[in-house]
Structure 1
Amino acid sequence: MKMRIKQSYICKDIEQYDINTNLVSTHVPAVGDVAVFEVLQIGKHKTIQGAEKRMQTILPGDYIMAAFGTRYATAQFEGYVPEGICPEYHILGAGGTVGLVHSSHSKFAQAGPTTLKLAGWITNAHQNVINTIAANQHLQKPFTGGMGHATRVILSVGSSMDSGKTTTAAKMVQGLSKAGYNTAFIKLTGTVFTKDADLNFDHGATTVADFGMLGYPSTYMCSLQQLLNAYESLMHLVNAAAQAFVVIEIADGIYQRETEMLLRHRPFMNTVDAVVYSAGDSLSAIHGYEMLRSLHIVPAAICGLFTASPLLVQEVKERLYAPVLTIEQMAAGELLQYIERPVYEMAS
């Protein structure tokens, strides 16, 4: 089969391969399985991120290389890997995550997802379908928590998608870096796309890493052990022991499956030195803070979109005894004075 293939970011490490069309009607996809797809109709995704991070325009009739995965994005798509063979599939994420959309935000109701047809499976010399997670198994480290204790870990969590936690993390990195501290950034959960890691690198991070480097098209529906191992592995990739701080962002909100699992897992949280919570408005700031306190987690500071409004900041300050920092204050390094506070309060 001769075709020009636009290779998505999740497939960046795949170089030697065959395209097997014989398996199209028999192989049931699994998370991480790689295939070539023909673009049928353009919907929400008009571009995909390529292996070199450049955004590539896609058109009907194009062929793309991508991997099957899931997605949880309250402002975009909820999607899953199908349990059987389907006539069409959907782009779930611009980094190359493909599956079937289960639900979507109403703003995409008219456009819908970009639809694809499976053209062939990407196989190795033994005619086995290449899997991005299996191909990066050599990078996987079992969770011990030791790497977390080799540095100071700051966790950036938020009330929901688009609550400002990525910007908060980037401004944290900027402030810590300007204060003279080597600071790395890790995106631990989400759907593969390098924008957040790139933003933090541009804000001064010495090095960045995300779950996509381990071959995960997304982390939605991963087991707790997979998440913990990914954490340990990414800490190795950023050489945590050589960093004064490692800022870690966990995607979506504190009620999201993987986020809540990690927040409730004491061995993971015992490696965290400070938690910064971001929220979109005053009510979510207050309720989210109280939810974290119910887990005996004391945020070092609260930030996020709501801090753009002095009135919302005032509402929060009148109801919570907690530091509220704007992104300008984060960028100025003011978080440093608050991160000596313990992450856990004593349970009564």
Structure 2
Amino acid sequence: MTLVAHPSEALSPTFTSITSNAATGVAADPQRLQRAKKAYTTRFLADRLALDPAGYDLLDIAPAAGDVVLAKVVEIGNHTKLESPASRRQSMFPGDEILVAFGNRYAPDQFLAVVPDDLGECSLVAGGGLAARVLEQHADIDKATTIQPIGLLAKDGVVVNLQDLAPHAVNHATELPGRPPVIAVLGTSMNSGKSTTLGCLVNGLDAAGLRVSAGKATGTGSGNDPRLFTDAGARLVLDFTDFGFPTTYLLDYETVRGLLTSLIDTLTTAETDVIVVEIADGVYQGETSRLLHDPVFHAAVDHVVFAAADALGATAGIGILQDAGVSVPAVSGLLTASPLAAREAAGVITTRVINTYDLCNPATALELLPARK
């Protein structure tokens, strides 16, 4: 196993219930690690701990994005449940110990949060298992669940990072020879209906007899969307967590772009007729906005289906995408839940507005495929 090393620092006096080991920090009781509730983001680690939980240590050093931490739940807040490796919602109670990953979060409807510079008290900012320090939050949600880090999980003196455990790696390819048609789903913002739009499109293409692979290139780690894509009929499903990233916010741009192309490359198999990929958040989000103007994105993606929350968002979003030279054959998403909003959008844009669940119709889904060259 290749692990990401961190500089050694003095151990915190909070390590009181485990045995000291001067060479590597503080030895973690294997039974303690087995009892701890595991998160979706740490699912690949959970598989290893199930086989052999021995030989791990806990270190009190500054965390980095992707580092795995054993933490205690102090006070329940916005997230009352922790998503398990199998995507079961595990109820949390004060005093529970959990294995989650540090990461940055960009969620306009919830939290703006960053990896802290120490192991002081912080927050669980995503139910998929993300620890961070909250900078801002939406006014309509509860305060984040408070957690107290106990120590970063380490082996052989170095911290376990999710990239060390991931089954796939970013290859930074800029060309994708032999790829099948690729449709990306983007949206105005969080909760604009992107994942449902993608799921219905996958379902329609599958019903049409095509073998579909699907993925999520950016966002915050959770099993909800990958499982939706699988349920919709996708044969192969991956997301950025399969490449070792609990979130993609604040990653360097080259890595974000590499995630998109690596995801498409990995989803390209002899059994795949078409790939559908979700790009999270809205078109104003920094990494997404930059992708839209990148020649690599245009070479990797044939069409974009745009999910909007309302007619004004659809109009503005289509304008942004068209200015970037992106081909957008359809608008769908949350706005189509309202016939009135859908008619408003159709009255001011020339792009076709399609009810989200109409994408499950094979004929409708096939109309969104790029023309064969």
What is the correspondence of 1:72-91 to structure 2 with a 5 Å cutoff?
72-82=106-116, 84-91=117-124
The 1-side partners of 2:87 and 2:269 are apart by 25
The 2-side partners of 1:337 and 1:51 are apart by 36
The AA in structure 2 aligned to 1:94 is G
1:130 partnered with 2:167: no
Asked if the contact 2:37–2:97 (Cα under 8 Å) also holds between the matched residues in 1, the reply is yes
What is the correspondence of 1:57-136 to structure 2 with a 5 Å cutoff?
57-82=91-116, 84-108=117-141, 111-124=142-155, 126-136=156-166
| Aligned match for 2:70, one of 18, 28, 36 | 36
1:20 partnered with 2:51: no
What is the correspondence of 1:146-295 to structure 2 with a 5 Å cutoff?
146=176, 149-295=178-324
Give a deviation string over 1:185-222, Cα, whole Å, max 9, x none. 10110000010111111011111101011111100011
Residue in structure 2 matched with residue 298 of structure 1 by the alignment: 327
The 1-side partners of 2:280 and 2:217 are apart by 8
Across the two proteins, how many residue pairs are aligned to each other? 334
The 1-side partners of 2:343 and 2:361 are apart by 21
Q: SS at 2:158's partner residue?
A: coil
TM-superposed CA distance for 1:144, in Å, is 2.9
Q: SS at 2:94's partner residue?
A: coil
TM-score (norm 1): 0.91
TM-score (norm 2): 0.85
| Aligned match for 2:349, one of 293, 296, 320 | 320
The 2-side partners of 1:7 and 1:150 are apart by 36
Asked if the contact 1:151–1:241 (Cα under 8 Å) also holds between the matched residues in 2, the reply is no
Residue in structure 2 matched with residue 49 of structure 1 by the alignment: 83
Distance 1:118 1:338, change over 3 A: closer
TM-superposed CA distance for 1:138, in Å, is 5.6
Asked if the contact 1:18–1:122 (Cα under 8 Å) also holds between the matched residues in 2, the reply is no
The 2-side partners of 1:138 and 1:276 are apart by 27
The 1-side partners of 2:258 and 2:359 are apart by 30
The 1-side partners of 2:209 and 2:329 are apart by 20
TM-superposed CA distance for 1:288, in Å, is 0.8
Asked if the contact 1:19–1:120 (Cα under 8 Å) also holds between the matched residues in 2, the reply is no
The AA in structure 2 aligned to 1:10 is T
Q: SS at 1:217's partner residue?
A: coil
Give a deviation string over 1:70-103, Cα, whole Å, max 9, x none. 1011111110001x22530111111111110111
5+ long unaligned stretches in structure 1? 343-348
Distance 1:17 1:245, change over 3 A: farther
Give a deviation string over 1:289-320, Cα, whole Å, max 9, x none. 11111112231111111112222222222211
TM-superposed CA distance for 1:236, in Å, is 4.1
Residue in structure 2 matched with residue 144 of structure 1 by the alignment: 174
Asked if the contact 1:19–1:121 (Cα under 8 Å) also holds between the matched residues in 2, the reply is no
Q: Which moved more, 1:182-191 or 1:129-138?
A: 129-138
5+ long unaligned stretches in structure 2? 1-17, 19-28
The AA in structure 1 aligned to 2:191 is D
The 1-side partners of 2:86 and 2:330 are apart by 36
Give a deviation string over 1:212-269, Cα, whole Å, max 9, x none. 1111110001122112222233234434443111100001111011211211111122
Asked if the contact 2:182–2:277 (Cα under 8 Å) also holds between the matched residues in 1, the reply is yes
Residue in structure 2 matched with residue 345 of structure 1 by the alignment: none
Q: SS at 1:123's partner residue?
A: strand
The 1-side partners of 2:149 and 2:273 are apart by 46
Give a deviation string over 1:15-41, Cα, whole Å, max 9, x none. 2564534x32xx111111111001111
Asked if the contact 2:71–2:150 (Cα under 8 Å) also holds between the matched residues in 1, the reply is yes
The 1-side partners of 2:128 and 2:339 are apart by 36
Distance 1:325 1:128, change over 3 A: same
The 1-side partners of 2:168 and 2:235 are apart by 24
The 2-side partners of 1:106 and 1:17 are apart by 44
Distance 1:137 1:196, change over 3 A: closer
The AA in structure 2 aligned to 1:66 is V
Once superposed, what is the RMSD of the aligned Cα atoms?
A: 1.8
